[in-house]
Amino acid sequence: MSGETSVAFESPLLRAALGENDNPLDRISVRDYLLDVEIGAFQAERGVTQRIRVNVVLEVSRHAAAQSDDVDRVLSYDSITEAIDAQLSTERINLLETFAERIAERVLDNAKAVRAFVRVEKLDRIPGALGVEIMRNKVAGENVVRPVPAAETMVIEDIKPLVVFLQNDVLHGKNLTGWLDAIAGHDLPAIICVDCATTEKPAADIAAANRRIELLSIEQNAWVLAGKDKRCVVVDSRTEIDWALKHHRLVVWAPSKLVLDAVEGLVRPDADALHLALWLSGEFAANSLYVAGGAIPGDSHPALRFVDDPKKL
């Protein structure tokens, strides 16, 4: 596959000379699409942008667009650039491999698309370029990209989970088990969010450091909850949350990864634990955020539902 992938980015004349097959598919491409983005798993790559170059070659099913000169019958080149831009606006990506995979998934979602070749390169890490190349297709075999039939799995976007924020009085109160029983027994799968730990947090002179300390304080409480009830599972990634919801596990959210990986501007940098939970509920299209423990003075967001009794969930 690696040779085939490399050839995909060469000129049509070279591909023809190599005689790929007797009946090749048409190809459309976007070449040398340059972007300044925040990407990378290293701490030095957070909070800064770097140049990346994206190349996509998309094999498409045959159509009569060329003969009819009908733009509506051809797969638009914009669909490729829009797929790239949409992915970048959805979440912060750590790995080039992940970015390439997501681009391939998006472009192959088009009915006319058959196979995608994606190359993504970083241009500022070394004097040259470093990157990854992948090939994905809709045909049965290696590297299949194929939508899963609705009968095989629940579509997570349609679930609209129950999202509950446990105030510290509830987390450390005598009726915690009653709250967890009510959450576990609800018709909807649940995500539990918690407040910062009650212990005093250290302070730093740098805002980014204080943000990390705040997030770690929330995660301390998440693990305290998991230690109080074995039904609670602490998770930090979207993939883990999706899986746990599908299997009706009691999800306790550890926020650092999703918050730090969120595209800039989607999460307020000064958002406290409650408003991070409110953001998460919106990400999962939950109808409301239920705040266990009763009203919090000064908070009146329309999506907040304050409850003082587990029976009201």
- Model confidence pLDDT, tens digit, residues 263-303: 766 677 778 999 999 999 998 989 899 999 988 877 778 89
Residue 5 confidence (pLDDT): 58
Higher-pLDDT residue of 138 and 103 is 103
Cβ–Cβ < 8 Å for 259, 267:
yes
162 bridge partner residues: 190
Would you list the DSSP string of 3-61? HHHHHHTS-HHHHHHHT--SSPPEEEEEEEEEEEE-B-SSGGGTT--EEEEEEEEEEE-
Residue 171 pLDDT > 50:
yes
- Same fold: 2-147 with 156-312: no
Nearest of 214, 222, 220 to residue 271 by alpha carbon: 214
Taking the C-alpha atoms of residue 299 and residue 110, their distance in angstroms, rounded to an integer, is 44
Task: Map out the domains of the chain as residue ranges.
Answer: 2-147, 156-312
- Model confidence pLDDT, tens digit, residues 36-52: 999 987 767 878 899 99
Work out the percent of the chain whose per-residue pLDDT is above 90. Answer: 48
Nearest of 284, 270, 250 to residue 159 by alpha carbon: 284
- Across the range 230-255, mean pLDDT stands at 88
Nearest of 237, 231, 230 to residue 189 by alpha carbon: 231
Q: What is the DSSP letter of 151?
A: G
Q: Which residue is it, tokens 């090939």?
A: 135
- Model confidence pLDDT, tens digit, residues 64-85: 455 544 444 557 788 899 999 9
pTM of this prediction exceeds 0.75: no
Taking the C-alpha atoms of residue 275 and residue 268, their distance in angstroms, rounded to an integer, is 9
Taking the C-alpha atoms of residue 277 and residue 96, their distance in angstroms, rounded to an integer, is 29
With bands split at pLDDT 50, 70 and 90, how would you rate the model's confidence at 154?
very low
Taking the C-alpha atoms of residue 67 and residue 230, their distance in angstroms, rounded to an integer, is 65
- Across the range 134-161, mean pLDDT stands at 53
The CATH class for the domain spanning 2-147 reads: alpha beta
Work out the percent of the chain whose per-residue pLDDT is above 70. Answer: 80
Cβ–Cβ < 8 Å for 225, 194:
yes
Q: Superfamily assignment of 156-312 in CATH?
A: Acetylglutamate kinase-like (3.40.1160.10)
Residue 76 confidence (pLDDT): 78
